[in-house]
Amino acid sequence: MAINATKPQSRAKGLETASRVRKAALKRFAGAGYAAVSMREIAADVGVRPGALYNHFPTKQDILKDLMLSHMTDLLRAWDAAVSAQDTDPLECFVRFHIRFHLERADEVFISYMELRNLEPENFAVIEAERRRYEAILTDILKKGSADGRYAVEDARVTTRAIIAMLTGIPTWYREGGHLSEQQIEDLYLNMVRKAVAPHAINSQRETG
């Protein structure tokens, strides 16, 4: 059979180095922004000469694309896992999942929202499609809940964006050891979201201590 002859076969050490490149680039991109980070800096973090990076990624742009795409893939896969393991209210499930996932992946989230404009057009299209898939999950929950009268949502797409913007803002200010635990933040935001989409009244609910 015709093997792809352009890509060299990787050894264990190569995969390890590639992984460290991703990790270093993630930190640097999140901290200073893609355009402000040099391949030399990434190489120094990894402990390798700049030229060696090109054994693992064809260009700097490919590192960014790799980071952003795998983040979106992880996000969608993690949602599938979270939803299949639960049978609670889908809206609660989504809100808690979103907050947890985005709090424990602050760097990836930051990059995925800030570096969209540094993606070349074809890469941008790929990432944007994944983002729409994720938004569609919440839109679907809102539409279903609206249809059977549990929610009152005038425009499910707009409400989706409003809720996601609200939730995604959390990692920009949340710090561990602050005066609110992650659990409290989840409860607080869930309560706000529920009230925001409620038809009329909501009985303030709290299930977890």
Q: Is residue 32 part of the contact set for a second copy (CB under 8 A)? A: yes
The residues, any chain, with a CB within 8 Å of residue 110's CB and separated by 6 or more, are 30, 171
In the block, tokens 């402000």 appear at 36
In the complex with DNA, the residue whose CB is nearer, 15 or 158, is 15
Q: How far is the CB of 44 from a second copy (least distance, A)?
A: 19
N-to-C CA span, the chain: 60
What residues between 71 and 130 interact with a second copy by CB under 8 A? 114, 117-118
Q: Is residue 37 part of the contact set for DNA (CB under 7 A)? A: yes
Of 12, 200, 207, 208, the one binding a second copy by CB under 8 A: 200
CA triplet 77, 83, 89: central angle to 5 degrees?
150
The closest alpha carbon to 53, from 25, 78, 80, belongs to 25
158 binds, among DNA, a second copy, none (CB under 5 to 8 A by kind): a second copy
Cα separations (Å) of 118 from 20, 86, 87, 121, 127?
A: 22, 37, 39, 9, 12
Q: Which residues bind a second copy (CB under 8 A)?
A: 31-33, 35-36, 114, 117-118, 152, 154-155, 158-159, 161-166, 168-170, 172-173, 180, 185, 188-189, 191-193, 195-198, 200-204
